[in-house]
Homo-oligomer: A and B are copies of this chain.
Amino acid sequence: MLQLDPASQVPLYQQVCDQIRQLITTGGLTVGERLPPTRELAARLGVHRTTVANAYAELTADGWIEGQVGRGTFVSKGVEPAKPAPSPAPFSASLENGYLWQMLFADTPVDDPLDSLLADCCNAASNGKVIAFTSASTANALFPVEDFRRCCSEVLRRDGGALLGLGNSDGYPPLKEFVRQELSREGIRAGDRELLITNGCQQALDLVRKVFLRPGDVVAMENPVYPGAIQSFNSGGVTCLGVPLTEQGLNLDVLESILAQQRVRLLLVTPNFHNPTGTTLSLDARKRLLELAARHHLPVVEDNIYGALRLRGRELPSLKALDTSELVIHLNSFSKVGFPGLRVGWVVANQQVIDRLRLAKQATDLHTDQLAQAALAEFGRRGLFARLLKRSRKVYRSRLAHMEAALERHFPAEVSWAHPEGGMAVWVTLPAGLDAGALLFKARERNVLFTPGRFFYFQAVQPNTLRLGFADTNEKQIDRGIEILGALLKRELGQRRRAPAERAETARVALV
């Protein structure tokens, strides 16, 4: 609805001011309604943020609007519109600049243009031309699609009418049975009422959030972490506390000191092949973590999504398998072994927790698609999952070895990287001062892509980190891609060595 005229003699901030005041008096903005943040309105109007800030300041001084710390800017309580306009401008008239929709949304997502630009760079998949180390998901080429198709046909023949009708919120019984058998092989005994089927781990996080967290609550989780966890928890007034990682995963000393200082409602942790760092918690660390949780009555969300993909070293029991306090809420999914497009995962927890999660699931989407559940159950019953897992581990193991050899061969000595025991990615740390985002822009010109570390941090971003996924690239792509990245890094470091004085100068200028 705001329409600025740059040619007018009236200053822009005054135009903003006048038009908002008019909206208030005609009822287009009502008492208590929230105004968009200055940055956002400025972007929409194509003016400098100061222009909008000045308009807001004037309106505040005149009592039309008021700022509330930490909440935003609102139309003042004291303001009485003359009368609602008898026939206000239709809503659609204001749609073009999108300004009013922004006011109707509950949240304003942080929108960093650099992030979108980088995200665009990361989004392409490998093909004949591009080598993309961006994925930490399955190599779809490994899927035995024909076997899966037969499973689908079989379950539709057998149970079609029932599984195409509405089902139980906690899951399709034959799939639950199959998952429980798998769990018992991993040392987790779960009764039927201690298991809930979800749309993958992402939904499990969403349901846990709904059941456990209110605005103002604090969640502790690894920083860096899976971006979907940030999306799920770092909103709606929940505070995320980052726990840094050592080479052996979550730093328990830091966690212990956090727990001594404040009430944490929930801990999210990935003990096996943490995404993105690839770290694994030792057996002793797992035990100590469980002791801390029991002492502080702290529910622990264990994300075990990469757990089946151990590529070397000795198997370790999951937190849930070691858990005597029943505080562990164990999440897993089929998605890192096969068929992530089906969106099927599960939660194992104390029955009281599952009862609540089931209610939340019901209110969220009633239940998970039963065709996908039934087909996966049949696929598992026929032993095809075990076979796919075996094959995937073999392929991924070889790709990891290949990537490590290539890194050793091509990357400069100043760059270091983690040596994960499993999972799908290698975490790389560049020398301080190098920016993985800048490297990505250059690498893209050479048709090589990876994920800058900044996407995994929700605080204290380390811009010199990056993740190289190896699961969905073949050996040849790995060799070539790492060689290209290595050459770019060597050139960058060479330039830095040649021009330390200039760089120091630039840094000083940037700081002014």
Using a CB–CB cutoff of 8 Å, the interface residues on chain A facing chain B are: 27-28, 30-33, 84, 87-88, 90-92, 95, 98, 100-102, 104-107, 109, 137-138, 140-141, 143, 145-146, 148-149, 152-153, 156-157, 160-167, 198-200, 202-203, 206, 210-215, 217, 228, 231-232, 235, 237, 260, 263, 265, 293-295, 297, 299, 324-327, 335, 338-344, 350, 352-353, 356, 359, 362-372, 375
Cα separation A366 to B157 with both chains bound (whole Å): 30
CA distance A235 to B210 in the complex (A): 10
Residue from B87, B164, B210 in contact with A341 in the complex, judged by beta carbons closer than 8 Å: B164
12 chain-A/chain-B pairs, Cβ below 8 angstroms: A91-B293, A92-B326, A101-B350, A105-B356, A106-B211, A148-B156, A164-B341, A164-B342, A166-B335, A199-B365, A200-B366, A342-B371
B165 near A160: Cβ-Cβ < 8 Å: no
Given contacts A350-B101, A365-B200, contact A88 B294 (CB under 8 A): yes
Q: Are A340 and B104 in contact (CB under 8 A)?
A: no
Contacts of A359 in B (CB 8 A): 109, 231
A119 CB, nearest partner CB in chain B, Å: 12
Q: Which of B90, B210, B343 contacts A369 (CB 8 A)?
A: B343
How far, in whole Å, are A206 and B361 apart by their CA atoms in the complex?
10
Known: A84-B295, A231-B363. A165 touches B145 (CB 8 A): no
| Distance of A222 Cα from B30 Cα, bound (Å) | 24
Q: Copy number in this complex?
A: 2
What's the Cα separation between A219 and B58 when bound, in Å? Answer: 32
A362/B161 contact (C-beta < 8 A), A98-B352, A343-B368 known? no
Chain B residues lying within 8 Å of A263, measured Cβ to Cβ, are 30-33
Indicate the member of A206, A217, A324, A365 with the most B CB atoms within 10 Å. A365
B167:A341 contact, CB within 8 angstroms: yes
